[in-house]
């Protein structure tokens, strides 16, 4: 599979995750969201950027339980809940947000 923007082609796996992490741009994230019928607002970007920082530091996409806890610590307690994150990313916060962030599917996510 692949995503095309302005004549450039970006390779993805069969579930839509970016193959080359370095291909990632905000435009690509927006395009991926559009394909899912979603529009990204600042709350989405906050989580997406958080995930990119997490990956940069630990070389891993966190499991949803870990993500929830870490978001609460970093972005405020009111945001570190499953409810908040599922409202932003109804297909599952770790799965969907990681996809838009250009990361691999979280380890342990089936």
Partner 1 sequence: MASKRFLYINRKAPHGTVYALESLEVVLIGAAFEQDVSLAFIDDGVYQLMRNQDTTAIGSKNFSPTYKALGDYDVSKIYVEQESLETRGLSKDDLMPLTYEDEDDDWAEKDSIHIVSGAELAEIIEQQDVILNF
Residues that bind partner 1 (CB under 8 A): 57-60, 62-63, 65-66, 69-70, 107-108
Q: How far is the CB of 99 from partner 1 (least distance, A)?
A: 18
Work out the number of other CB atoms within 10 angstroms of the CB of residue 108.
Answer: 12
Phi, psi (degrees; rounded to nearest 5) at 81: -125, 150
- Identity of the residue, 4 or 22, whose beta carbon is nearer to partner 1 in the bound complex: 22
Check if 98 is active-site: no
8-11 and 2-5: which strand pairing?
antiparallel
**Catalytic residue (one of 12, 17, 109, 110):** 109
Nearer to partner 1, 33 or 61 (CB): 61
CB atoms within 10 A of CB 12: 18
* Residues known to be catalytic: 109
């Amino acid at each position: 599979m692949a995503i095309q923007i302005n004549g450039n082609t970006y390779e993805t796996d069969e579930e839509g995750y970016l193959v080359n992490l370095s291909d990632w741009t905000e435009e690509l994230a927006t395009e991926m969201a559009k394909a899912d019928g979603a529009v990204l607002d600042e709350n989405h970007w906050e989580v997406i950027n958080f995930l990119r920082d997490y990956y940069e530091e630990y070389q891993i996409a966190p499991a949803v339980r870990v993500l929830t806890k870490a978001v609460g610590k970093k972005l405020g307690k009111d945001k570190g809940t499953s409810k908040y994150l599922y409202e932003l990313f109804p297909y599952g916060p770790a799965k969907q947000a990681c996809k838009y962030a250009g990361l691999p599917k979280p380890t342990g996510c089936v």
